[in-house]
Amino acid sequence: MKKTVTGLCLGLVLAACATTTTGTATMTKGEPPQVGAVDIATLIPELQAIAGYSYPDSRSGLLAVEKMVRESASPGLAAQLAALLHTTATPDAKQFACYQLVAIGTEAEVPAIAALLYDASTADMARYALQPMEFPSVDDALLTALDHAPAETHVGIINSLGARGSKAAVPTLRTLAAGVNPATAEAAQAALARIEG
Amino acid sequence: MGTKPNKQTGSKQITRRDMLKGAAASAAVLGFPTIIPASAYGAQGKVPPSERIVMGCIGVGSQGTGNLKGFLNYDDFQFVAVADVDRNHRNRAAGLINAKNENEDCATYNDFRELLERTDLDGLSIAVPDHWHSIPAIAAARKGLHMYAEKPLALTLNEGRAMVDAVEANDVIWQTGSWQRSNRNFHRGCELVRNGYIGEVHTVHVGLPTGHEIEPQPVMPIPEGFDYDFWLGPAPEAPYTEKRCHWNFRWILDYSGGQLTDWAAHHVDIANWGMGTEATGPVSVNAEGHFPEEGLYNASVNFHLRCEFAAGASPVAPNGFTMYVSDKFNMGTEFIGTEGRIFVDRGDTLDIDPPALRDKKLGPNDTPIYQSRNHARNFISGVRKHEQCVAPIQAAHRAIAVAHLGNISMRLGREVKWDPAAESFVNDPQADRLRERAMRGDWHI
């Protein structure tokens, strides 16, 4: 099954980007997501304003976005936040976007977030957003990342599968638990304990 | 827990903890008192080494060191090891322990997991930042270690539940550092409320302190001897600045829930104790807050929670009751009933209306609530008798859950409906996501 989120054309919700195509995120089961680069200039002004945020800059722009999240919780805003993840925005801005996606991310944003699992420097922020999401496609995304993402991300991904109580992950976790890599084996054993009780 | 593999022994060993537990059980069967009598004490009235509760410390910053100093007043404890990611802290604590023990034997660890590999421990004193509460506590419970551990119980609702489950599954004794329960006034006020002396309670006001703000803080070099990456642990990566760490962690949402969680663990805990709602929670919470617009700290500075408890949740509120939690009330807990009110706070504050209730003795049909007059000694007694302490983990979880629900309501900007039995939100997957947080890197519970 192929899920595609194209365009992130948010005209129905956010007039500021009514005609903007901000990128493409595609996820095919078993394969890493394919995501196109996004130009910051195509984001809504509030997100453009935070794209350069780094600690200890003023947080006023972040608070404005948090307010939008609280007041609208619109699918369009979630798509814009996911698009920001594939711009040249700072790591702090991307981490902030992932924080917001915990609250308002939809299944449509899963591929764009999951793409961050494939870079060790962004995998944690991706898990922060994905782990609590209720969609089965998150389990697929995490399991696929175990096959293709850098080795240093694997324990974290296994931990997220355990925290999610992912039944779909049990066969993979059993294999890892019996494996020779002590770090992934220990993590897989702990994850299985959480899933199976 | 983390990447460092745990050393597991293949065979079941009889530990000091098993012996303590066995001694308590045997004494109960034989009808002997389980507190060691004075006649069994060593010279100068000291507890013989073989009877001491062997303890380690995880986290010895200001709170942990304060707790340690208190414990060192009792010969029942034998502290032997300290873990802290700040070398200065752990060396300071080790010095206190060595002075007490009159030797230089206290072991020090940067990594608490190495401390947990020791086989000579009966229990732990844990006082680490909130984002670190669940990992060592759950690991210690799995090793059968009894714990005196600091409030607020956990960073998230799910971590709190996991801690409760681990403590219960491993049958370890737990004392939360919510020491107000060992204070005479809090006990007296709650006992009167619980036994209906102010009638049916319809409203509880919980007053907490206002939060903190601070200007933006510069990125700083990490001090020598401070393992900052370990201090961050499961929390997101962030540049070092002095005011992020140690005592001030509690004003930052990556590590805590702000003043709301810090003090709800005291005064909401008292509210639950008085109302008999220590095993349940509100069915809805609507919260508003004001958050700092600039600077390092980002937890709410002002907050107001309206928490509705269902009919039957409390034995003294058959029609349900409302708990308000706010920084606008006087600090403390106020119970308002159909026949009176009771306000209790620290510093000998116990206002009772009608005043005649002040000297009221419980009647034969009344139910006394658990009494402790010394939080540390209550922990000692709990460990020796293998009995529940005055501040059990289940109560700590339910107290802090109210604050977590408030923070989630503030974050979503709306009321949230909560099922206290299932410990999940009602048809609200968006809110359910906020019951937990992914942990950085390899950390897990």
DSSP characters over B174-216: EEES-GGGGSHHHHHHHHHHHTTTT-SEEEEEEE---------
Lowest mean pLDDT among B16-20, B56-60, B122-126: B16-20
**Residue A10 to residue A21: CA distance in whole angstroms:** 9
**Residue A106 to residue A78: CA distance in whole angstroms:** 7
pLDDT of residue A151: 97
pLDDT band at B12 (very low <50, low <70, confident <90, very high): very low
Is-contact B230 A118, C-beta < 8 A?
no
Distance of CA B145 to the CA centre of its chain: 16
Identify the residue whose tokens are 């903890």: B17
pLDDT band at A10 (very low <50, low <70, confident <90, very high): very low
Identify the residue whose tokens are 């304003």: A49
- Looking at residues B266-278, what average pLDDT do you find? 98
Q: Which of B158, B67, B145 lies closest to B397, judged by CA?
A: B158
Q: Is B444 on the interface with A (CB under 8 A)?
A: yes
Nearest to A102 among B1, B236, B434 (CB): B434
Distance of CA B81 to the CA centre of its chain: 21
Nearest to B294 among A59, A130, A190 (CB): A59
Is-contact B82 B59, C-beta < 8 A?
no
**Residue A70 to residue A52: CA distance in whole angstroms:** 22
Q: β-pairing, B302-309 with B284-290?
A: antiparallel
**Residue B124 to residue B140: CA distance in whole angstroms:** 8
pLDDT of residue B396: 98
Q: Which of B26-35, B90-99, B357-366 has the highest mean pLDDT?
A: B90-99
Nearest to A155 among B3, B295, B434 (CB): B3
Q: Please determine, for residue B14, whether its predicted confidence score (pLDDT) is greater than 80.
A: no
User: Starting from the edge strand earliest in sequence, which strands make up the sheet with A24-28, in order?
Assistant: A2-6, A24-28, A34-35
Q: What confidence tens digit (pLDDT) does each residue in B377-408 have? A: 999 999 999 999 999 999 999 999 999 999 99
Q: What confidence tens digit (pLDDT) does each residue in B197-243 have? A: 999 999 999 999 999 999 999 999 999 999 999 999 999 999 999 99
Q: Please determine, for residue A98, whether its predicted confidence score (pLDDT) is greater than 60.
A: yes
Is-contact B100 B71, C-beta < 8 A?
no
pLDDT of residue A28: 86
Extract the tokens encoding A162: 């355990």
Q: Which of A14, A145, A146, A11 lies closest to A77, judged by CA?
A: A14
Identify the residue whose tokens are 């924080």: A99
Residue B366 vs residue B42, higher pLDDT: B366
Closest-approach residue (CA) in chain A for B409: A70
Q: Is B427 on the interface with A (CB under 8 A)?
A: no
Q: Is B442 on the interface with A (CB under 8 A)?
A: yes
Extract the tokens encoding B362: 């419980």
pLDDT band at B17 (very low <50, low <70, confident <90, very high): low
Angle of CA points B331, B204, B181, to nearest 5°: 60
Q: What confidence tens digit (pLDDT) does each residue in A17-56 have? A: 333 334 567 888 888 998 899 999 999 999 999 999 999 9
**Residue B201 to residue B320: CA distance in whole angstroms:** 8
Number of Cβ atoms within 10 Å of the Cβ of B321: 26
Q: Which of A66, B294, A156, A149 lies closest to A81, judged by CA?
A: A66
Q: Please determine, for residue A113, whether its predicted confidence score (pLDDT) is greater than 80.
A: yes
Q: Is B10 on the interface with A (CB under 8 A)?
A: no
User: Is the reported ipTM for this assembly greater than 0.90?
Assistant: no
In degrees and rounded to multiples of 5, residue B236 shows phi and psi of -60, 150
Interface of A with B (CB under 8 A): 55-60, 63, 70-71, 73, 95, 102-104, 124-125, 127-128, 130-134, 155-156, 159-160, 162-163, 182-183, 186-187, 190-191
pLDDT of residue B2: 66
Q: Please determine, for residue A9, whether its predicted confidence score (pLDDT) is greater than 50.
A: no
**Residue A166 to residue A148: CA distance in whole angstroms:** 19
Nearest to A56 among B158, B218, B429 (CB): B218
pLDDT of residue B353: 97
Q: Do B295 and A103 touch (CB under 8 A)?
A: no
Q: Please determine, for residue B182, whether its predicted confidence score (pLDDT) is greater than 70.
A: yes
> What number of C-beta contacts closer than 8 Å exist between A and B?
91
Which chain B positions have a beta carbon within 8 Å of A124's beta carbon? 236-237, 438, 440-441
- Looking at residues A158-177, what average pLDDT do you find? 98
**Residue B134 to residue B128: CA distance in whole angstroms:** 10
Nearest to A163 among B239, B429, B436 (CB): B436
Q: Do A70 and B411 touch (CB under 8 A)?
A: yes
Cis omega (within 30 of 0) for bond into B5 = no
Mean pLDDT computed over every residue of chain B: 92
Q: Do A95 and B439 touch (CB under 8 A)?
A: no
pLDDT of residue B51: 87
Q: Do A103 and B5 touch (CB under 8 A)?
A: no
Q: Please determine, for residue B313, whether its predicted confidence score (pLDDT) is greater than 50.
A: yes
pLDDT of residue A22: 43
Number of Cβ atoms within 10 Å of the Cβ of B164: 22
Q: Do A56 and B241 touch (CB under 8 A)?
A: yes
Closest-approach residue (CA) in chain B for A99: B437
Q: Which residues pair with B344 in a beta bridge?
A: B333, B350
By CB atoms closer than 10 A (0-12, 13-18, 19+), residue B295 is middle
**Residue A148 to residue A26: CA distance in whole angstroms:** 16
- Looking at residues B2-15, what average pLDDT do you find? 44
